[in-house]
């Protein structure tokens, strides 16, 4: 993460997505950047719960399992059956 002149870490100015669970048990998985893509974070959401996620210098992809609405600056889409 980039630091300010005073040594304080600045937040990344990368894109955010919003995930709204439409069913219980929606899984959100963060995947790393680099030579080998690996899982680095997992969250479970129940119906109606919302998570805001950010692509960062460490997160290159986000995988969503289950029925959810995903809101991005490119538009809205739905995952699951």
Question: What would the pLDDT profile of 5-20 be if each residue is shown by its tens digit?
Answer: 666 655 555 688 999 9
Q: What is the pLDDT of residues 28-77, one digit of tens each?
A: 998 888 787 787 889 999 999 999 998 887 788 899 999 999 999 999 99
**Angstrom distances, CA of residue 44 to CA of 23, 25, 32, 41:** 11, 6, 18, 11
Domain of 32: which CATH number?
Answer: 2.60.40.50
CB 80 within 8 Å of CB 70: no
Specify if 7 maps to a domain.
no
Specify if 26 maps to a domain.
yes
Going across the sheet that includes 68-72, the strands are: 50-54, 16-21, 68-72, 75-79
Domain count, the chain: 1
pTM listed for this prediction: 0.76
Provide the domain limits for residue 65: 16-76
Q: What is the pLDDT of residues 25-34, one digit of tens each?
A: 999 998 888 7
């Amino acid at each position: 993460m980039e630091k300010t002149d005073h040594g304080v870490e600045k937040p990344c100015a990368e894109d955010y997505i919003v995930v709204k669970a439409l069913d219980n048990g929606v899984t959100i998985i963060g995947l790393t950047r680099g030579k080998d893509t690996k899982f680095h974070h997992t969250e479970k959401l129940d119906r109606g719960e919302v998570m805001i996620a950010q692509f960062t210098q460490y997160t290159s992809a986000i995988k969503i399992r289950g029925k959810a609405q995903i809101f991005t600056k490119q538009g809205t889409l739905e995952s699951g059956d």
